Structure 1
Amino acid sequence: MHRSGLTELEVVLAVVRRGGFRAAAQELGMSATAVSNAVAGLESRLQTRLFNRTTRSVALTDAGQRFVARVGPALQEIRQASEEIHSDNDDPAGTLRLNVPNNIGPLFLDNLLIAYMQRYPKMRVETVSEARMIDIVAEGYDAGIRLAESVPQDMVAVALTPDIRQLIVATPDHFTRYGIPQTPDDLLHHQGIGMRMSHGGLYRWELERRGEQYALAVPPRFATSDLFASIRAVKAGLGVGFLPELYIRQELESGELVSVLEDWTQPFAGLRLYYPGHRHVPPGLRAFVALVRERGIIPG
């Protein structure tokens, strides 16, 4: 990172991004003590507490939230100006910071990030994976990735995947033992593999056919927030899962998994790369967007 001289502000935003002092220290290459001292020094000068701290968590105070919302965008502009001095459109240099959803790793890394870093050796990339929606500008990110329905309307959005379809799947042996469901209600007699949401609740399977809608709570034998753990559990025969087709295409083609009630599973708009459209786009992000457009959507 090319330092802007606003170290304390950069530390505060890093603590917000990483959710703690130790993780922020690792990102910034500082000691946890130095991070704590920087935050304490800024709080002292502002005469305002920015974070509530306990032994287990760090969270912004109301004043801290207002401060970050105002300072974050300004600091991002300063950081980009500093990096652009060392960069140009054909050979960008600096750091590309992306906020991405959980479970996108292998798909995204293999298809885009490796190619980007190979093409632009002066660029560094930082990704943070999380389920919650954030203000990418206030928290110091260049761009984010989310489902199209979640992208704020004031952002520029570029398609990363085709429409996504969630399928109801299990192993052939599971359906032999428990029967093939003919209606959504039949799924209530099966054990499910549930997806735990960021707010702690279980995701209810959203089904629709010819305008008739179901939000089904299949009894979970196993619940997790990790998509790949869900896939492994379904493949092990532990229950029925509701999984994105693009992650299990090979298993469906080989017959390892079987899909049922497909007339109840409708596609929806897929993943989008999004970024602010009201300010100058830095060369590193511009190059990444160009690569996305050049390669087209990630095959579903």
Structure 2
Amino acid sequence: METTGLSELEAVHAVARHRGFRAAAVELGVSRSALSHAVAALEARLGVRLFHRTTRSVAPTQAGERFVADTAPALRDIRAALDRLAGQRATPSGTLRINSSAGAARMIMQPVVLEFLRRYPEMTVDIVTEGRLVDIVLEGFDAGVRLAELVPQDMIAVPLGPELRFAVVGSPGYFADSFIPTTPADLARHRCIRSRMPGGSLYRWEFERHGEAVAIDGAGPLILDDSLLMLDAARAGIGLAYVTEWQVAEDLAAGRLVRVLEEWTPPFPGLCLYYSGRRHLPTGLRALVDLVREIGAKAGI
């Protein structure tokens, strides 16, 4: 009887994780049609349907759920064995999948990711950016990059950079027609460029000074879910933006934006690289962790 190969197992598990063929195909680096045909061929050979398919969704059948659950431990062991074997190479190779917010990815690209690729040219780094916080193990990622406060407690976290601060900024043209706010309460008389969270709620701007914490739900003419668009709008004089200090450093130095309420935005713990400590650490991820710690040591983190 023809046996089921590792690639077919990976295909089934990827489709089950993502509840669809498109994202699973991206993860596996194959075309959507090739992945669909591979799963269909396996189902035909086994004589069992593993997934319910509609034009809008893909979900495991009861038999498919049991198959994924039964083969998951063995598949993890095989992956770990392959990682250990790859660890005997002098130079790390393979693909490292990282889940991150878009802002965090921009912050680590130059100092961490590009330096990692220069050191290890046989590695490929696959970064998926999204606002929602995902289960990196369940969704097939090697690691995640998020603010320290968002890292799940069961993960191993390695600091990626210094503390961060938020900044409230507006254009010189905006302030030519509006007064400078000196307290968060003054924002009630300003136009605020509002931020929509991944879950759909609107973010309340957070402030703190001398132990007094305030959250402001400012009103404004524009709601966005991307910080770069917020900066574009702030530069154009539409209103005030609430973004990280790192994102506006060049604008402030060049005079394109003016910062206010600085004494109300204290620093907070910055980004962390995090990963599961419950499974074997792939060689590529170990090399990345070592690089992050090296960079942190040089920066005194």
SS across alignment from 1:213: strand
Name the CA shift for 1:108/1:226 in 2 (closer, same or farther; >3 Å): same
Structure 1 position 59, deviation (Å): 6.5
In 2, distance between residues paired with 1:8 and 1:232?
Answer: 46
2:230 counterpart of 1:235: no
Q: Which residue of 1 aligns with 2:25?
A: 25
Q: How many residues align?
A: 296
Structure 1 residues 249-264: aligned runs within 5 Å: 249-264=249-264
Q: Deviations over 1:222-241 (max 9, x none)?
A: 22221111112111211100
Structure 1 position 204, deviation (Å): 0.9
Q: Deviations over 1:247-276 (max 9, x none)?
A: 111212222211111222122111100112
Checking the alignment, whether the CA contact within 8 Å between 1:101 and 1:131 is kept in structure 2 is yes
RMSD over equivalenced CA pairs, Å: 3.3
Greater displacement, 254-263 / 281-290 = 254-263
SS across alignment from 1:296: helix
Query: Structure 2, unaligned stretches of length 5 or more?
Result: none
2:5 counterpart of 1:5: yes
In 2, distance between residues paired with 1:110 and 1:217?
Answer: 34
Structure 1 position 73, deviation (Å): 7.1
In 1, distance between residues paired with 2:130 and 2:65?
Answer: 19
* Larger-Rg structure: 2
In 2, distance between residues paired with 1:262 and 1:159?
Answer: 25
Structure 1 residues 88-237: aligned runs within 5 Å: 88=88, 90-237=90-237
Name the CA shift for 1:154/1:43 in 2 (closer, same or farther; >3 Å): farther
Greater displacement, 64-73 / 155-164 = 64-73
In 1, distance between residues paired with 2:66 and 2:201?
Answer: 29
Name the CA shift for 1:74/1:255 in 2 (closer, same or farther; >3 Å): farther
TM-score relative to the length of structure 1: 0.84
Q: What letter matches 2:111 in structure 1? A: N
Structure 1 position 283, deviation (Å): 1.3
In 2, distance between residues paired with 1:286 and 1:198?
Answer: 30
Checking the alignment, whether the CA contact within 8 Å between 2:48 and 2:63 is kept in structure 1 is no
In 1, distance between residues paired with 2:61 and 2:172?
Answer: 52
SS across alignment from 2:33: helix
Greater displacement, 19-28 / 189-198 = 19-28
Structure 1 position 11, deviation (Å): 2.2
Name the CA shift for 1:60/1:177 in 2 (closer, same or farther; >3 Å): farther
Name the CA shift for 1:132/1:104 in 2 (closer, same or farther; >3 Å): same
Checking the alignment, whether the CA contact within 8 Å between 1:131 and 1:198 is kept in structure 2 is yes
Q: Which residue of 2 aligns with 1:248?
A: 248
Percent identical pairs in the alignment equals 48
Checking the alignment, whether the CA contact within 8 Å between 1:83 and 1:93 is kept in structure 2 is no
Name the CA shift for 1:66/1:261 in 2 (closer, same or farther; >3 Å): farther
Name the CA shift for 1:106/1:183 in 2 (closer, same or farther; >3 Å): closer
In 2, distance between residues paired with 1:298 and 1:206?
Answer: 31
Name the CA shift for 1:297/1:185 in 2 (closer, same or farther; >3 Å): farther
In 1, distance between residues paired with 2:208 and 2:20?
Answer: 41
Checking the alignment, whether the CA contact within 8 Å between 2:205 and 2:216 is kept in structure 1 is yes
